[in-house]
């Protein structure tokens, strides 16, 4: 079990401990993401070289603004934000509801709201508000029994349902992942998590071979019987839960996902079955990355990138442009920056002075990690196309600002943990 939460009590710090620290400006977890923003701005320029689009400039300016925003947030003690967490959560839920009535539809997905001069994506805001409210709840109410899970599950289910039916499969998956990571970090028994996580196999078996369920569901009941208290009751509950998942999966497949999302999941297995249709993105992405070789073709010199062989490459498929123009070396260096970022965030979470701060930072680390793995795997053909952006690199002003806000929360936590060590 990870000893991530120290269960420390609130402590008062001398006033001078919260003064602005200039070394935060050059913190690796802030400099690294900004480097990614600069690199991706050049790649976006290369992708849109044949058009008059200035998305590269918008991405860079948003990144600079996000950099400053992270520094501002880093000087705010997170404990002061607790009273605003639930109002922020309610506002994000309302914005998700407004999307269904006033949202802008792009490529078959209704995910954006227009505020006149700019648009924003409420689902990105919902990720932040959800992790904050879950962190607040888990700090106050530890998970000792199944009834302790009721409130966190309700709080994460509301935005998940609203996001899933937009439809936004990628963000809904992110919410599930960060939720389980936070539960594990809060020292919930690993067996409980396994019972829920393995429901993914229950969904898969309901499609591939329903007969397997006659063995699989009792196996889940046996796992609950051997690991949980009140064995018989929890075993029955577990089997009922997996049975519901098996029955619910076809409904979600038929009514929750759009046709293009179904195609993406099916074509993941065999993209060549429709090389000019749904499998086009995957095939062209792998060709672009493979053509980059060791050192790449050079910035602004990628043939597939310059000629727009990959539609909307500046968003979810930005890594394919990176692979073509910088090759294996450039791609490896970017992955290293991501790796250092995740390691640093995990370290900050372990050293946080309060449970609330620790849970926030580990949730942020889990969001970045999940998006990085899924996006890169997607572009190289090892995962389905899910619409999950690459943090700090994929074009998207809302997601970029939210990501830098998350970095600000981590810096704030690190700053106060360092103050604690210096007392």
Residue 181 to residue 184: CA distance in whole angstroms? 5
| 3-state secondary structure string across 300-337 | CCCHHHHCCCCCCCCCCCHHHHHHHHHHHHHHHHHHHH
Tens digit of each residue's pLDDT (9 = 90 or more) over 369-386: 999 999 898 888 776 677
Query: Mean pLDDT throughout 174-186?
Result: 90
| Helix or strand run (H / E) with residue 411 | helix 397-422
pLDDT at 128: 94
Q: Which residue has the higher pLDDT, 106 or 290?
A: 290
Tens digit of each residue's pLDDT (9 = 90 or more) over 214-228: 888 888 888 888 776
Handedness of CA 129, 135, 136, 137 (dihedral sign): positive
pTM: 0.82
pLDDT at residue 209 tops 90: no
Query: C-alpha 240: how far from its chain's center?
Result: 30
pLDDT at residue 67 tops 70: yes
Which range (10-14, 27-31, 64-68) has the least confidence?
Answer: 10-14
pLDDT at residue 1 tops 50: no
Q: Which residue carries 């860079």 as its tokens?
A: 60
pLDDT at 255: 65
Kindly tell me the burial class for residue 256, based on how many C-beta atoms sit within 10 Å of its own C-beta (0-12, 13-18, 19 or more).
middle
Residue 364 to residue 302: CA distance in whole angstroms? 33
The mean of the pLDDT values for the chain is 80
Which range (94-108, 257-271, 315-329) has the least confidence?
Answer: 257-271
Which range (3-7, 98-102, 208-212) has the least confidence?
Answer: 3-7
Distances (CA, A) of 211 to 202, 203, 214, 237, 264: 11, 13, 6, 21, 26
pLDDT at 372: 94
Which range (121-135, 153-167, 332-346) has the least confidence?
Answer: 153-167
pLDDT at 247: 81
Q: Which residue has the higher pLDDT, 295 or 274?
A: 295
How many Cα neighbours within 13 Å face the side chain of 50?
10
| C-alpha angle 315-320-323 in degrees, rounded to nearest 5 | 135
Which range (19-33, 273-287, 313-327) has the least confidence?
Answer: 273-287
What does the domain layout of the chain look like in residue ranges?
A: 25-422
Query: Mean pLDDT throughout 177-185?
Result: 90
Confidence at 340, pLDDT banded by 50, 70, 90: very high
Query: Mean pLDDT throughout 197-224?
Result: 82
pLDDT at residue 58 tops 80: yes
Which range (276-290, 315-329, 389-403) has the least confidence?
Answer: 276-290
Residue 232 to residue 153: CA distance in whole angstroms? 23
pLDDT at 279: 55
Contact 366, 275 (CB under 8 A): no
Which range (65-74, 122-131, 192-201) has the least confidence?
Answer: 192-201
How many Cα neighbours within 13 Å face the side chain of 59?
27
């Amino acid at each position: 079990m990870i000893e991530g939460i120290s269960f420390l009590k609130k402590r008062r710090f001398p006033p001078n401990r919260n003064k602005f620290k200039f070394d935060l400006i050059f913190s690796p977890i802030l400099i690294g993401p900004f480097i990614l923003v600069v690199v991706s701005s050049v790649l976006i320029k290369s992708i849109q070289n044949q058009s008059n689009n200035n998305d590269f400039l918008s991405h860079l300016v948003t990144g600079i603004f996000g950099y400053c925003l992270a520094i501002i947030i880093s000087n705010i003690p997170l404990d002061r934000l607790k009273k605003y967490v639930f109002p922020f959560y309610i506002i994000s839920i309302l914005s998700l509801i407004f999307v269904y009535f006033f949202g802008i539809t792009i490529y078959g997905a209704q995910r954006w709201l227009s505020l006149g001069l700019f648009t924003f994506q409420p689902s990105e805001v919902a990720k932040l508000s959800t992790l904050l409210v879950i962190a607040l709840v888990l700090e106050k109410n530890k998970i000792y029994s199944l009834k302790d899970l009721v409130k966190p599950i309700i709080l994460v289910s509301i935005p998940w349902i609203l996001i899933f039916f937009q439809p936004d499969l990628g963000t809904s998956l992110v919410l599930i992942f960060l939720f389980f990571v936070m539960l594990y970090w809060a020292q919930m028994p690993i067996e409980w998590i396994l019972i829920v996580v393995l429901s993914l196999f229950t969904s898969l078996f309901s499609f591939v071979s329903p007969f397997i369920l006659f063995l699989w569901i009792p196996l889940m009941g046996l796992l609950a019987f051997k690991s949980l208290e009140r064995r018989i009751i929890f075993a029955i509950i577990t089997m009922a839960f997996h049975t519901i998942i098996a029955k619910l999966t076809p409904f979600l497949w038929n009514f929750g996902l759009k046709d293009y999302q179904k195609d993406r999941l099916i074509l993941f297995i065999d993209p060549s079955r429709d090389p000019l249709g749904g499998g086009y993105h995957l095939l062209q992405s792998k060709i672009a990355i493979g053509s980059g070789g060791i050192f790449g073709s050079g910035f602004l010199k990628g043939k597939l990138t310059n000629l727009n062989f990959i539609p909307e490459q500046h968003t979810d498929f930005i890594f394919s442009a990176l692979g073509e123009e910088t090759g294996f070396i450039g791609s490896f260096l970017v992955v290293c920056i991501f790796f250092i970022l995740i390691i640093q965030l995990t370290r900050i979470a372990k050293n946080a002075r309060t449970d609330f701060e620790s849970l926030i930072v580990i949730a942020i680390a889990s969001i970045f990690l999940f998006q990085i793995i899924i996006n890169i795997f997607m572009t190289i053909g090892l995962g389905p196309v899910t619409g999950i952006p690459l943090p700090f690199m994929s074009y998207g002003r809302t997601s970029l600002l939210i990501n830098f806000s998350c970095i600000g929360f981590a810096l704030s936590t690190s700053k106060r943990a360092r103050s604690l060590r210096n007392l």
